[in-house]
Structure 1
Amino acid sequence: MKNKTLLLLFLLYSFVISAQPAENITELTKWTDESIRTAMSSRKFDPIEGIYKSYQRDGMPHYKIGIIKDGSVYKAIILETEVPGWKTGEVKAVFEPGAVKGMYSTKWYMSDKTPYETFSSVDMESETLLSIELKDTKTLRKRLDYFIKTYPVAGNETIFKKDNSIASGSGFFLTTTGIIATNAHVVADASDIEVTVNGKSGVSTYKAQLLIADSPNDVALLKITDSEFKNMETIPYSIAQTQEVGSRVFTLGYPLNDIMGSNYKVTDGIISATSGIADDERYYQISVPLQPGNSGGPLFNKDGNIVGITTAKLKAAGTKTENVNYALKSSYLLNLYRKISKKEAVQPPSKLSTSELQDQVKVLKNYVCLIKVY
């Protein structure tokens, strides 16, 4: 009887403990005020990045936060606060860029660290005011709270590194050593070239130079020259030189990155014809939607192999056209590559042929880059 009583008490105690709500936990980083300033002073940065202080009003506690890019999102790091339970370095919010420039889907952690899904925006004219829609803890009504940027200092040209690129496009890795393919028109007349890669370890930007260009066929090869770049382990796709009409294809790229955001975009379609304008045999006609900035991006087949380089969309005078776009066939890319190396550009076969599209994208996005020309 005594043992049964002890067992019941133990089970009751276990139930009470397991019924307690789990403690809310946020990510703890090593970011500090000083390290954020150092990171921002050494690279170009986006309008939302910087150090902010909360605008003091009833119900809004004091916060000093630093917003820094982490992969495809931005994280707000606690630098100072009067709210108990929060530590320097903890993530207060996560901002994901929206389709409209300056707008962000936001996960804000309340004072008790419960997540609250909302949205926020940056005043794109001054780039100094961040507004976030939050819930008043007293009235439970929604309201806008404001954060004032205190760093970088407005007007300090040595700190504000605006994006003054004259052109941008997409590209993709041909080799693990940093040779990248793109369109020749993307890098034409470039004084400086930067490539940004959304890789396994986050977003990285490297300096690159033009290796060789074939302007008549609109294809070029770049080489990363930045000492920060480390060779990749492998390339997960091969180059396929033939495709049939009706074959499924897709592209990854960075279209209209100044409007649509700096994250990569995926579009898909089919091979509509094995020739381009006026039956030009160099091109595939594709139904994959293309926008400015897609130029130079990879065209993948359903197995995740390269079949071409996205190049142009049809603009016929006086005629409305939809989804009539073109990609240079991969054979012209290989011809150019063989002029600088006798080695194969990539290692066949593809390792992604049995994967679903969403799983292919998770891997392939690490090898597609945003190219900016200055």
Structure 2
Amino acid sequence: MNRVKLISWYLSCLLTMLGCETRAEYDAEGLFKQVSSSIVTIQTFDEKGRQQGQGSGVVVDKDRIVTNCHVIREADSLKVAAGSQVYAAAWTQTDPSRDICVISAEGIVAPPIDTRKMGNVKIGETVFAVGNPLGFGLSVSSGLVSSISPYRDEQVIVASVPLSPGSSGGGLFDSRGRLLGITTAILTAGQNLNIVLPADWIAEMSKRGTAPPPPSVSPGPEPRWMEETIALQHAGNLLEFENHVRKWRETQPNSALAAAYLGVALGGKNPKEAEAALRDAVRLDDRNEFAWFVLAKLLYRLDQRDEAKQILQKALQLSPNHGSAYSTKAEWLLADNKPKEAYAAVQDAIRVEPGVVEHWRWLGVIADRLDRAEESAKAYQTALRLNPMDDASKQALSNVLARNGKADAARLILGKDSDSNPSNAGTWLSMGFTESARKHYGDAEKAFRKALEISPGNSNAWVGLGVVLTETNRLKDAEQAYDKAYDSKPDDRGVVAEILTNRGNVKSKLGDKRAALADIETAIRTDPTYANAYRSLGILKVEARDHRAVVEAFRKVVASNIVGADDWATLGEALEALGEKSEALEALKKSEKLNPNSQQVLQKLTGYYGRNGDLQKALDYIERAIKIDSSVAAHWSSKGYALLKLNRLPEAISSLETATNLDPQFPSAWINLGEAQMRSNNLGKAIQSLEKAVTLAPAALDARLFLAQSYLSSRQADKARTHANAMLKAQPELPQALAIVTLAYLMDNNYDAALTNYRKIQARSPQIAKSVKAVGISQGLTGAQALPD
């Protein structure tokens, strides 16, 4: 998604979050006076007593308060504020599937509220929401009942009442002050459609409610258990690996992954304890395919083969793209003397993970068993291309060749010299291009260098060597190879254009954009028909955000015979940036038709639909990209962002945490994660994520905005002001930043400083100024009442 274009959206949303909703003229004031004493603020704290976040709650009986489970489930301790009094509270009942929880606060002075059944709620009737958005004190907003709709397979109320973070757990009331339900989720920020859990569910807590889960020990941000576990496993330090996962397991006893990796660590040392750990892992999470897979392999080794095969099949059902599970299945089928079935299984392994040496090696074994010597040899050759140091594949290939009358080739595989070598430069050149096309860059480089030994001025050999050096990331050497190619003064204009374009691409990768542009423009002047030069020019213009130049360049590319899916995708994105949306979508659809599995194509389609409001379609495309390659942090960040905008906050947080784990230096993922945590009332986690984002991208205004807002919501006025002032350095008249600064000064009882900033808001937007004053008054901030209208 284009964060620059969305910043204005983020900033305008702050106004809603700061309490800028329109108050109905109906009897909102009287309704507020009638029910506000039954609405409380719930404060959540971590294990060290630091406030994490807050939400709202409704008193429904003596000492008994109802709220949303998502408001309190991450808390180590709770307090309830009613009026000017604060009470200790405890979580007593939960109905997690409905997101309804009950807490108790002994001695709380607050009248229980009357409730009304959902069965006689009418669509279109006026309703009022009362809660504590952003911690600025109780407030009321009005709207209408929009519908009675299904949500998670049950009927709920959907109301058009403006809500902000902090309103979750508050009450929705009719005009007579009867509780209709608990406000819980914002469906559409732009239209204020919100889910309200019906009050009927409160009475059903006596039957459905259960005790809350026991508190778990939070591991904090460090250590990064999963990351360190994998690193130790790959390092082969078995004792340290075991000690680490034991500590992880002790710290997080409810983590299925910790139990699964303990099973991995103990598999060769203590199989019984390993089995117990793995069975505990699948008990904790019966959809953890990794744990099922490791358990299957352990049971097979322990001769419990029937159960092992059943469990392996379960792992494959949970994760149909787990190549190692297919490869293991193939190995077991071969052991059962079922080579044809084993062949089908290993083909599945290669289909989902074509870059894994072990799968190709097993294909070699199985094809050899089926007397398919040529296919077996090709499989081993592929394994060796993936890992030239794979001695097992090297030996197996030599054996297959020797058994089938190819002793010379077998000796060559084992490192013996062949009897003859071609000495013709043209032959070596042909071999070099052939091996380069196969991505056998080591063999290609040897061939090109042999050709250059024979013919030092061969421009084609220098070009070929330059390609190999570029592909193996030896960019300075590649630039020198293209210099040599250019200095050889080839007669063919197309060859000259190719040399200049390739050299320009290398210079671009080395960071010299000006020199890169000069080479590529010279290439176009030399041969105006050379399409690759236009492609390279377009890519440079993408980096410069010159969208019109991008369109001009890629129109040349898509009209040529080298056009690919990514070319249409880049053209489509540039057309959209110029406002040509219908033509942009047409180009993007052409790119998808050419290559429906292109990562760039799927990412650009995701961005297009996301920017144009079709978030579900954007989510569908990025899910496809993740299925193809789940290791790309940008895919997970885009998925998290789409889920965030669809208000599927727990899923958004999970996806965004995956993005930050895959690439801890990816600022957009941290910004999106911070926003999702903030909207989930996890203020401590939001601040932690947004501080990381600001460190990585100090100029990102959206990161500063969310961070300032989170600090303000957690009553850390000085820090909120610091980040708001950083925003004002970039945009001195930004009303949202001025609003945060004003409220922060009021929190610090600095009326004069607050007034100075407040007047700046008045000069720009009197309406925003009124809203800021209203927020200050509702919060009881000293001096807010004195701010001029």
- Shorter chain as denominator, the TM-score bin is 0.3 to 0.5
Q: Which has the larger radius of gyration?
A: 2
TM-score by length of 2: 0.20
Q: Which has the higher contact order (CA 8 A, sep 6+)?
A: 1
TM-score (norm: length of structure 1): 0.40
